[in-house]
Amino acid sequence: MPMHPLSPLDGRYAKKVAILGEYFSEEALMKARVELEILYFLALSDEAKVKELKRVSNADRTKLMTILEKFGAKDLTMISQFEQKTNHDVKAVEYYLRKKFQSMPSLRKSLSFIHFGLTSEDVNNLAYGILIMRALKEVLKPELKSILAELGGMGRRWKNTELLSLTHGQPATPTTVGKEFLVFHERFNRHIASLYDFRMCGKLGGAVGNFSAHRAAYPEVNWEAFGRKFVRSLGLMPLRYTTQINPHDDLAELSHHFCRINTILLDCSRDLWLYISRGIFTQKKIGSEVGSSTMPHKVNPIDFENAEGNLGISSALFLHFAEKLPISRLQRDLSDSTVQRNIGVAFGHHLLALQSLQKGFRKLQINLKRIRDELDAHPEVRTEAIQTVMRKNGIQDAYEQMKKLTRGEDITRKKLREFVEGVSLPKEEKERLLNLL
């Protein structure tokens, strides 16, 4: 951990989000750039019409892949030293690879084909693309599926547990605890499904997206087909027409996906906070924990509060990505570069929120007595059912009768039973309503 971390993700929460460092740290980005440069070099060597570059042997391919497997702090330092001279991070990667290739006699004559015809953004957008897709697959989607499973489990567990609804903060027709969780489960599931269909895009086309340098050297090569094949080999969706850069509509789409997911989870967090406040749920006590520095009795819903705060920060960043990244002056400007370096920060706060939610879910204990007491205290919420059955049986002013009896009044079960017994209804209908009371 840094001695004086500026961000809580690198300080207080470092251990909780450490796994994201494999995808969004500076080392991860540099390694991905090295990977892209090597894979591109190999793809060029496989293109028969690029005659000056011989096809790389299997032995040398293995050596090149070993560079990736052993990539670590020493390599990062070497790249950093080159960057201090070049003031250009992608060019530093190129020089780093040139030095690595020089240790392989059969590749020394091929140094000029490292980063051949490319612009920095060809490497950068593809590097970010593969890192984001890997993080989604290996970290974020599994965490989201865990949340989905928790919501579904609670929905099934309490599907028949009746609960007083509140609409506009006022007592309303009863629902069930389980159904309220299944509402969030269904909303969440729909957006996770759309996330599974998502793919990052990839741009390969040189300085202004036209393969101009490539064509100048090898006009006989179908570079558009070459580019599409290479981008697909990375698991990304090829972009056909671009400027110097990937226009980042993919990142905007992904950001909007996560904004919607965050919004659903924030809504869930606030509802659970309110259910705990009402006493519908209590929380498992952990003996060593303190709820308040001065009030010994407190067991606060801190997990849902932490989730809410981190979801808000995450969404704020994702919204900025969605609004800023697709806009670039003419062929390009560099303002996207510094913004993209914060992608991991948005995912870090999102991951913290998921962890807090899961911790909060595990502490929930349903308070059946409180639920029964609430329902007993508000028999008037059965009036919707009563007036609807009355309407069914042809009583024209059913709503008005119930309104006159109950609106703003202190109603008891006894009064409602007396009302139902006095209404002209079929015997079986009347008995069914009385059973509700």
Residues whose CB falls within 8 Å of the CB of residue 117, separated by 6 or more in sequence, listed in order? 206, 211, 213, 214, 217
Of 168, 293, 297, 424, the catalytic one is: 168
d(CA 151, CA 144): 11
Question: Chain-wide mean pLDDT for the chain?
Answer: 93
Determine the average pLDDT of the residues in 185-190: 96
CA angle 136, 139, 141 (to 5 degrees): 55
Percentage of residues in the chain with pLDDT exceeding 90? Answer: 84
* Most trustworthy range by pLDDT among 366-370, 408-412, 432-436: 366-370
What is the phi/psi pair of residue 236, to 5°?
Answer: -110, 165
Determine the average pLDDT of the residues in 300-309: 94
Asked if the model's pLDDT at residue 69 lies above 60, the reply is yes
* pLDDT level of residue 291 (50, 70, 90 thresholds): low
Determine the average pLDDT of the residues in 177-183: 98
Q: Which residue has the tokens 């080159």?
A: 82
d(CA 85, CA 92): 8
Could you read off the pLDDT of 424-436 as tens digits, one per residue? 899 898 899 998 8
Residue 356 among the catalytic residues: no
Asked if the model's pLDDT at residue 437 lies above 90, the reply is no
Q: Which domains, ranges and CATH numbers included, belong to the chain?
A: 15-116 (1.10.275.10), 125-286+297-372 (1.20.200.10), 378-436 (1.10.40.30)
Task: Check: CB of residue 356 under 8 Å from CB of residue 310.
Answer: yes
d(CA 340, CA 305): 28
Of 57, 194, 277, 292, the catalytic one is: 292
> Which pTM does this prediction carry?
0.92
Strand pairing partners for 366? 281
Task: Check: CB of residue 117 under 8 Å from CB of residue 217.
Answer: yes
Could you read off the pLDDT of 239-290 as tens digits, one per residue? 999 999 999 999 999 999 999 999 999 999 999 999 999 999 999 876 656 5
Asked if the model's pLDDT at residue 293 lies above 50, the reply is no
Asked if the model's pLDDT at residue 320 lies above 60, the reply is yes
Residue 168 among the catalytic residues: yes
Map residue 283 onto helix, strand or coil.
Answer: strand
